[in-house]
């Protein structure tokens, strides 16, 4: 859905800009002349990555063959959401599903994720050259609390909608989810505030000591600058590019892309659940309207 000008008489590569197979999942956002995409870039549909391609900045991508970063993702959406007035602190958020390595089953369960990068990431100098050094992700939970503590999860994100508010740093996020279970079928809509998104990314990292260990809470010292933070003035201005980040911080980011805490929806439950099985719900849009007795969010849910 994006148009951009290509120079004539110049050889242009499509890799990283459009999916090899148009039927595979794809997301893109154009920010200040830079194209951010999530796509499968090869014929075999194995090389899934988040890219930044265009003219001005260096081309970046997720490190290939690192399943900790992305495992068979389905890309749903991408948005730039600023954290503050400092443009160097701008972050791009990717919504996708993937096979969750931390789910302790032989066939990995599907989870919905929010991943994010700094828009001004320049990659590393010695490690992660031309790769994201600021990528982090966490689970986006949409579940109905059950008796005896067992929740019903809606793990398959179908669509996401950002409702802009007067404050561009704090849009309201609406997610339309499907279940992945073959026993229980249904859809749910969950709402998230940016405060919970930021809290998860500012929280503890998940850690895996070795192949025989479970993913657990990382409790030791976190390197500086904190992995996932941008080279910006608000972060102390000590670093003006991620290329100057100490190797230790870049190594840590590479091995700890997953946050320990998931993002929970407003009121810790969906605002709508549909289990009648009549429709295959695929898209959502939201309009906030003023009525005589207050404000309403009108949901448009498409098949
Ligand atoms: C939701 O999940 C069910 C079961 O896996 C599947 O049959 C259905 O196509 C899914 N709906 C959409 C909109 O993809």
Domain regions of the chain by residue span: 3-302
Residue 6 pLDDT: 66
pLDDT in tens, 60-111: 999 999 999 999 999 999 999 999 999 999 999 999 999 999 987 767 799 9
Mutate to test the pocket of ligand 1, among 156, 179, 184 (most ligand atoms within 8 A of CB): 156
pLDDT one-digit tens code per residue, 235-279: 888 999 999 999 999 999 999 999 999 999 999 999 999 998 889
Architecture of the 3-302 domain: 7 Propeller (2.130)
CA of 280 to the centre of ligand 1 (A): 6
Dist. CA 182–CA 142, nearest whole Å: 17
Q: Which residues contact 1 (CB under 8 A, 6 or more apart)?
A: 28
Q: Quick one: pLDDT at residue 140?
A: 98
Tell the residue number behind the tokens 């794809």, with chain if given: 26
For residue 250, the 8-state DSSP code is H
Give the pLDDT confidence of 119-129 residue by residue, as tens digits: 999 999 999 99
pLDDT above 80 for 131: yes
| One-letter-per-residue 3-state SS of 135-182 | CEEEEECCEECCHHHCCEECCEEEEEEEECCCCCCCCEEEEEEECCCC
pTM: 0.95
State how far the Cα of 8 lies from the Cα of 6, in Å rounded to an integer.
6
Distance, CA of 151 to CA of 184 (rounded, Å): 12
The pLDDT of residue 5: 67
Mutate to test the pocket of ligand 1, among 280, 284, 303 (most ligand atoms within 8 A of CB): 280
């Amino acid at each position: 859905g994006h148009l951009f000008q290509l120079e004539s008489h110049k050889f242009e590569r499509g890799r990283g800009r459009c999916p090899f197979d148009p039927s595979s999942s794809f997301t893109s956002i154009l920010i200040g002349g830079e194209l951010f995409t999530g796509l499968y870039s090869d014929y075999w549909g194995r090389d899934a990555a988040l890219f930044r391609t265009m003219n001005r900045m260096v081309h970046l991508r997720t490190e290939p063959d690192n399943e900790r970063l992305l495992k068979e993702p389905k890309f749903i959406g991408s948005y730039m959401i600023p954290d503050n007035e400092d443009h160097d602190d701008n972050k791009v958020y990717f919504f996708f599903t993937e096979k969750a390595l931390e789910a302790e089953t032989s066939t990995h369960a599907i989870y919905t994720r929010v991943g994010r990068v700094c828009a001004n990431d320049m990659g590393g100098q010695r490690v992660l050259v031309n790769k994201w050094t600021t990528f982090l992700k966490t689970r986006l939970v949409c579940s109905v609390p059950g008796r005896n503590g067992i929740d019903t999860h809606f793990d398959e994100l179908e669509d996401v909608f950002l409702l802009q508010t007067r404050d561009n740093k704090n849009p309201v996020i609406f997610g339309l989810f499907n279940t992945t279970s073959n026993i229980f079928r249904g859809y749910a809509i969950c709402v998230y505030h940016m405060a919970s998104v930021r809290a998860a990314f500012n929280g503890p990292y998940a850690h895996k000591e070795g192949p025989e260990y479970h993913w657990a809470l990382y409790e030791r010292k976190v390197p500086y600058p904190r992995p996932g933070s941008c080279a910006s003035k608000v972060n102390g201005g000590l670093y003006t590019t991620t290329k100057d980040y100490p190797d230790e911080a870049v190594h840590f980011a590479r091995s700890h892309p997953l946050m320990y805490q998931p993002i929970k929806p407003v009121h810790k439950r969906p605002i709508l659940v549909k289990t009648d099985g009549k429709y295959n719900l695929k898209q959502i849009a939201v309009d906030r309207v003023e009525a005589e007795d207050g404000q309403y969010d009108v949901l448009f849910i498409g098949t």
